[in-house]
């Protein structure tokens, strides 16, 4: 168990995922400043109307994009190990907590299950006509990589983050990816039809 500085946001950062952050509040400028100075990690946790979630992700600053004269920062952070909040602690300007790291304990997906998930992901990419980075098949979790590339929203990402089985994540993702591919394709077809008959899409 260790104490970790927390950065609660309406954001879920998956292991291996990178995201830009604009740091403007003094307490979080202090937190990120210490992480940069000491090459340490902080804890990024989803915070919304339901409060701070129990499962979060250790995050490291991998690039400082811009420093402003008033101390604000634009940075890029990367998700690393997951952790579970044990107890919130006090004494700093920013929120801190005692945490324990968590690992997967469940089964790996079968080859067939993984192929179905990858095929569904490929359908989304083709339907969106997107150019995305290739999947790293040597990484710990293919599911996290896919979920980082498709915007399912914070609740879905948080649910995947909390699962301690790659097989469960793959099985949960596959049908959502198929639904997303169908939705993207329908949306494109509607826009193409609208642009071809002189009608304007409603706002």
Confidence bin at 135 (pLDDT 50/70/90): very high
Mean pLDDT value of segment 115-119 = 96
pLDDT in tens, 69-101: 999 999 999 999 999 999 999 999 999 999 999
Q: What are the extents of the domains in the chain?
A: 2-102, 111-196
Q: How many percent of the chain have pLDDT more than 90?
A: 82
Per-residue pLDDT for 195 more than 90?
no
Confidence bin at 203 (pLDDT 50/70/90): very low
Compare 202 and 95 and report the one with higher pLDDT.
95
Mean pLDDT value of segment 118-140 = 91
* Token pair for 3: 């104490």
Per-residue pLDDT for 193 more than 50?
yes
27-36, 75-84, 100-109, 123-132: segment of lowest average pLDDT: 123-132
Per-residue pLDDT for 197 more than 60?
no
Confidence bin at 198 (pLDDT 50/70/90): low
- State the chain's mean pLDDT as an integer: 93
- Could you tell me the pTM of the whole model? 0.89
- Topology given in CATH for the domain delimited by 2-102: 2.30.130
pLDDT in tens, 38-69: 999 999 999 998 899 999 999 999 999 999 99
Mean pLDDT value of segment 146-173 = 96
Encode the chain in three state secondary structure: CEEEEEEEECCCCCCCCEEEEEECCHHHHHHHHHHHHHCCCEEEEEEECCEECCEEEEEEEEEEEEECCCCCEEEEEEEEEEEEEEEEECCCCCCEEEEEEECCCCCCCCHHHHHHHHHHHHHHHHHHCCCCCCCCCCCCCHHHHHHHHCCCCHHHHHHHHHCCCHHHHHHHHHHHHHHHHHHHHHHHHHHHHHHHCCCCCCC
């Amino acid at each position: 168990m260790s104490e970790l500085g927390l950065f609660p946001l309406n954001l879920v950062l998956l292991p291996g995922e990178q995201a830009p952050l604009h740091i403007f509040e003094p307490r979080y400028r202090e937190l990120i400043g210490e992480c940069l100075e000491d090459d340490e990690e902080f804890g990024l946790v989803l915070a919304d109307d339901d409060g701070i979630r129990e499962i979060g992700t250790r995050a490291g600053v991998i690039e400082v994009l811009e420093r402003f004269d008033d101390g604000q920062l634009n940075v890029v952070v990367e998700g690393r190990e997951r952790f579970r909040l044990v107890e919130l602690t006090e004494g700093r300007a920013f929120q801190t907590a005692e945490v324990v790291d968590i690992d997967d304990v469940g089964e790996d997906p079968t080859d067939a299950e993984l192929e179905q998930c990858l095929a569904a992901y490929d359908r989304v990419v083709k339907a969106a006509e997107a150019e995305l980075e290739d999947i790293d098949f040597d990484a710990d979790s293919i599911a996290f990589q896919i979920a980082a590339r498709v915007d399912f929203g914070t609740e879905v990402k948080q649910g995947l983050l909390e699962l301690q089985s790659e097989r469960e994540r793959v099985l949960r993702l596959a049908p959502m990816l198929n639904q997303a591919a169908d939705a993207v394709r329908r949306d494109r077809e509607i826009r193409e039809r609208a642009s071809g008959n002189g009608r304007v899409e409603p706002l």
